[in-house]
Chains A and B, each alone.
Chain A
Amino acid sequence: AQSVSQHNHHVILSEAASLELGCNYSYGGTVNLFWYVQYPGQHLQLLLKYFSGDPLVKGIKGFEAEFIKSKFSFNLRKPSVQWSDTAEYFCAVNPDSWGKLQFGAGTQVVVTP
């Protein structure tokens, strides 16, 4: 079955540490890829997206993600996290040219001061 997999369900790290969250998908063909963030008590916000072009995508708040087609991966990275990055992070895939999203299970990230 087509799916989106996030490798870690829960990550705890200290401020200034580097963060990398894995995301793999099993859809064939062309896909659009997204990373969303959900801060405590807030709605989902788009961090970044990839449709085509440069596989290294830069998003808001210092986040970036790299699309590796051969590995069906779209990993999210941030070189130095802050306490305010504590949130749940969701990878999502849109297998159509536009339309419904398939979400990964999410990764809860806790950044300690």
Chain B
Amino acid sequence: GAVVSQHPSRVICKSGTSVKIECRSLDFQATTMFWYRQFPKKSLMLMATSNEGSKATYEQGVEKDKFLINHASLTLSTLTVTSAHPEDSSFYICSATRTDYNEQFFGPGTRLTVL
């Protein structure tokens, strides 16, 4: 149980376009989802916390107009990178948690490459 999926697993796009990444909890209802960014040889950096039905809470330094997060249901959160630029190229990972289990379950990540 507690499986989290992400789609797509990798995406290549042109500079200036927008890219949407989906995060789904497959077998449980996720009260909260988190979005992380992982740079090569670096740790995971929390970008934002997403609660179903409410606005996401962004970490300091993360542009909320750049990284749009929507948590439409208890099983789906989306991250949209708007007007992507090469510096947005990275590995984006989501995680999900539920109220009765104090643990985050991680998705496999999405590799974004902006040309």
Contacts and interface: CB of A to CB of B under 8 A. Distances in A.
Interface of A: 32, 34, 36, 42-46, 49, 51, 90, 94, 97-106
B43 A104 contact: yes
Contacts of B104: 101
Interface of B: 4, 32, 34, 42-46, 49, 93, 95, 97, 102-104, 106-109
Identify the interface centre among A36, A45, A90, A99: most chain B CB within 10 Å of its CB: A99
A32 B46 contact: no
B51 to A, nearest CB: 11
Contact of B102 (A42, A51, A105, A106): A51
Contacts, number: 42
A105 B43 contact: yes
A98 B44 contact: no
Given A42-B108, A98-B102, A99-B32, A106 B49 contact: no
A42 B108 CA distance: 6
15 contacts: A34-B103, A42-B108, A44-B44, A44-B93, A46-B103, A90-B44, A94-B102, A97-B102, A99-B49, A100-B49, A101-B44, A101-B104, A105-B42, A105-B43, A106-B42
A60 to B, nearest CB: 13
A90 B106 CA distance: 13
A43 B102 contact: no
A90 B102 contact: no
A85 B93 CA distance: 22
Nearest to A44: B106
Contacts of B46: 100-102
A98 B97 contact: yes
A51 B87 CA distance: 37
